Structure 1
């Protein structure tokens, strides 16, 4: 978190400009879908502050300063918290939930360490999430059990399962696989502090091990894993590892719009 001498002025229009949204602001399903899609294409998922041992703040002014003013990204507890604030400012009813992230989890069942949103519009409820590094729905998922929802070449559905509530599935190679689950217990902002602290500091947390970044693009997506960049365009992928800190810095700015101070690259 960067210290500032003046209180942060929260500006919805500046946030909308940050995510490249210039459409209507009616509290409609269409507006909600476009807001989420714009967010995923402009605000990266990333953990560089965690690697640099900069304590995260989940306070809205601090998140706004980091993501909107400094053009950074974050992870679920940051991104979905600020997106939740934006939606509420625009007039959408929003409920915050805790989720268990099942995809790629070696020790099932997973702990609750993911933040997701339920948003109401036009008499329906939608699951919204702008805080995942892997492939997730680019548009909100209507909360109807068993309804298959196709987004481009991706397929998703929600089912209710014993013990874990709603489960979001993705279709991969003609099989349905779990992404995350959540129960409908509303959470307060303070409820995420302990989980976020664990993600920042626990030796076994994936966020403390190596650099992670991801962002959607019009042609696919970009990602970082450690020192390797992967640029996905359709079914093709171009992978490369910068040979110097300067090349890494340039690639990070080119593919994610992220600019970090020199001392943040100690992991290189």
Structure 2
């Protein structure tokens, strides 16, 4: 596993241990590495093994889910000299419901005495790290903030209209990759898992996002969406065109 190869994958030449570099790393990661569940949809088991994740995502230029993308990003940041913590969170499904508890795996990064949520594994999420202080971050597409609930519990929120909608509730309690094993099994095999029953590939672009499912291609530019029908014959060509 080589840091230089990882940086090449996200088109970065040099970084420092500071906030601008952390912002650049997260943004470039979102623009070059897709969020996808292709292994699950093809019934291929995903091991919680950093070397296998590195081979898949960096060498073979694939994407992955939160429990692949964020631990690997954590490894990169640690190798570069950042202070990181692996944590878990629970995804808000709607105003009245939550996904399975602690199935989202993500990162906290401390820079100059400020702690940030640095998440590259949540699909359509912030391009930039978000401080736990409550400061609003505008990534050019959406506004985000983190509010403190109680003790070690925080909510990541996105501005929707004139209000705020919680996306993830997380704890700052440190976790390890091995602790996540039962949750990884749930995500890959349980019918209730949002990734066990459909195909999804999505990646940020400089002016929006592109998302490919089994039967549609959605291209978003400047908040305007265009939806195209997809069939099996077109699928591989579209995947190669937008995600490799």
Distance 1:101 1:109, change over 3 A: closer
For residue 137 of structure 1, report the CA deviation from its aligned partner.
1.1
Q: Is the 8 A contact 1:164 1:181 kept in 2?
A: no
- Contact kept, 8 Å, 1:102 with 1:110, in 2: the verdict is no
* 2:20 counterpart residue number: 30
Match of 2:127 in 1: 138
**Does the 8 A contact of 2:85 with 2:109 survive in 1?**
yes
Q: Which residue of 1 aligns with 2:4?
A: 13
Q: Deviations over 1:106-144 (max 9, x none)?
A: 7437421001111011222111000012x2110000120
Are the equivalent residues in 2 in contact too, given 1:73–1:79 (CA < 8 A)? yes
What is the TM-score of this pair, normalised by structure 2?
0.95
Unmatched 5+ residue regions in structure 2? none
- Give 3-state SS (helix, strand or coil) of 1:187's partner: coil
1:223/1:163 CA distance change after superposition, 3 Å: farther
- CA offset digits 1:183-238 (Å, max 9, x no partner): 12100110111111100000111111110111000111001233111011112222
Give 1:74 deviation, angstroms: 0.4
In the alignment, the residues of structure 2 paired with residue 50 and residue 222 of structure 1 have an alpha-carbon distance, to the nearest angstrom, of 20
Question: How far apart, in 2, do the equivalents of 1:110 and 1:59 lie?
Answer: 23
Q: TM-score, normalised by structure 1?
A: 0.87
Structure exhibiting the larger radius of gyration computed from Cα positions: 1
Say whether 1:84 aligns with 2:74. yes
Which of residues 36, 49, 65 is equivalent to 2:55?
65
Number of matched residues?
A: 244
**How large is the Cα RMSD of the aligned pairs?**
1.6
Kindly indicate which of the two structures has a greater share of residues assigned to strand.
2
Q: How does 1:82-121 map to 2 (within 5 A)?
A: 82-104=72-94, 107-108=97-98, 110-121=100-111
Structure 1 unaligned segments of length 5 or more: list them. 1-9, 258-268
